[in-house]
Amino acid sequence: MRGKCADFLGYHPQLDEWLIPESKGSDMDAAYEQLNNTMKGLLAKQSVARGKIVLQVHISSQNYTFLSRDGMA
């Protein structure tokens, strides 16, 4: 994979689903970049993952409040 990647990449065989989560402070652009890079890398190696990927961004409630006030959430 190229560039910055997400914190985790996992596969759940019973659900046939891939999970790509990223924890962030408040930099949603960086979260998007890391999720996108990881997803592209996964699809390059496992094309069967298409349509079976769950992307998650985890932020604290304090940062959610901050982003909400800025009109980003």
Q: How far apart are CA 25 and CA 5, in angstroms?
A: 16
- Contacts for 44 with CB less than 8 Å, ≥ 6 apart: none
Per-residue pLDDT of the chain (73 residues; tens, 9 = 90+): 778 999 999 999 999 999 999 998 888 899 999 999 999 999 999 999 999 999 999 988 888 887 777 656 4
pTM here is 0.82
